[in-house]
Amino acid sequence: MLLNRFRYTFIFCGLIQYLLLQQTSLNWLNISFMLIWIILLQLGWFVAQSTKFRSILLFFAMTFGMGLSYYNHQLYVFILMLNLGEAALKYSDRYFYVTSVLLVSNAGILTYLYPFNSNVVMSLLLLVTSIIFWQIRPMIQEYYRLKEDYYHHEKERQEQIESTKHLMNHIQTMKDVYILNERNRISRDIHDSIGHVLSTIIIQLGAISSLTQTTQPQVSKMSQELREFSSKGLQDIRQIVHQMKPVEFQRVGFLVRIEEMLKEFEHLSRIRVLINHNEPTWQLNNAQEAVLYRAIQEFVSNTAKYGQASEIRINMHYADEALILNMEDDGKGTDHITPHLGLMGLEERVHQIGGKVSFQSASGQGFQTRLVVYKGGRKYENSLS
């Protein structure tokens, strides 16, 4: 920003000098040369990407500037100083030395041919400026080197921050998965051990109460009370087990497994995967989760093997009574979809859980798979569109 202000200051001073020196002889040719000179300087500074192209533009700008100076017998030192400054800032030592020698020598020749007081002063000013640039150029180069190092380290720092955020998200995801698995294990152990023991005790107490109802009514009453107390304890345990496996957490667990699988695929295949889903509104059963997981796995695997794609888009939408899964890639596609073992197996598995599947493709338009899985495994005749 500061350099641009200096540049515009020099251009403005150059234009003022030009207008003051040429106020009696302004014409379209003069004005056109001055505008071309400034445009070439601007293109070289802002537009040109390669050093070679930028050098060519600066050389032509310098040529136009010296040509205009010879044509008008006046040395336009401010814009020539801008030429010199840009050569000092952005180019090699050799290019800068050649530029400064050419500018100073041409200024000397012009002053010798047209020894006006203004040309003498401007030539001396250009010579002093050239000497100053020769002296401060190493400091300028060091400044730009430090600036580039700063931006490079800043970019690395930002990448590390993003990587750390990604790692923290991954750790949190793994933590959620671990908590889910641990809760499932503990709830299963409680159900299989304590729940089974209490169920047996309840059954035995019921039998004792029936056997002693006529002979020992007091024992029968105590057995019945103990049976009711045990039944209440079993209900409490079942409630605790249910609370340890909240439905929302199970829904998130399935999506987490999908996202982890896709991240691993993206890392290994270098194919970009974009997944989008709304908030789950109902719980898939185990069979549905297995089929959907396998369908996504099969799709991305086929894309990597045959699709020659660079991007995969996956959209999961929970409707009131169904889950709609759309998967598409940007690969080569085909005009003739040939059923093979993978597609046939997928169709069979989807139909077994009461869902629907369709495939669509065209040459040059990628491959698309659409699955509809119904809530509770129920099958409706009307397909959701």
Instruction: Determine the Cα–Cα distance for residues 276 and 256; give it in Å rounded to an integer.
Output: 13
Block residue for tokens 């001055």: 34
**What's the CA gap between 55 and 204, in Å, rounded?**
98
d(C-alpha 31, C-alpha 37), whole Å:
10
Contact 52, 98 (CB under 8 A): no
pLDDT tens-digit profile of 229-284?
888 887 887 777 766 655 544 555 678 788 888 888 888 888 899 988 888 888 88
Q: Is the pLDDT of residue 111 over 70?
A: yes
* Helix ranges (DSSP H) in the chain: 2-21, 28-42, 51-72, 77-90, 93-113, 117-192, 194-211, 217-244, 247-269, 286-302, 341-352
Q: In this structure, are strands 311-318 and 322-329 parallel, antiparallel, or unpaired?
A: antiparallel
What is residue 248's predicted lDDT score, i.e. its pLDDT? 47
Q: What is the pLDDT of residue 327?
A: 94
pLDDT of residue 329: 92
Helix H or strand E encompassing 359 = strand 356-361
Q: Which DSSP letter does residue 375 get?
A: G
**Mean pLDDT score across all residues of the chain:** 78
- The pLDDT assigned to 115 comes to 80
pLDDT at 372: 93
Who's near 385: CB < 8 A, 6+ residues apart? Answer: none
Spatial separation of the C-alpha atoms in residues 220 and 210, rounded to whole Å: 7
The Cα–Cα gap between 92 and 82 comes to 16
Kindly state the average pLDDT of the residues 158-168: 80
Predicted local distance difference test score (pLDDT) of residue 31: 74
Instruction: Say if residue 38's pLDDT is above 50.
Output: yes
User: pLDDT tens digit string along 183-197?
Assistant: 777 777 776 777 777
Dist. CA 263–CA 277, nearest whole Å: 16
Percent of the chain with pLDDT over 90: 6
pLDDT of residue 385: 36
pLDDT band at 222 (very low <50, low <70, confident <90, very high): confident
Q: How confident is the model at residue 6 (pLDDT cuts 50, 70, 90)?
A: low
Q: Do the beta carbons of residue 366 and residue 306 sit within 8 Å?
A: no
Question: What pLDDT is attached to residue 381?
Answer: 37
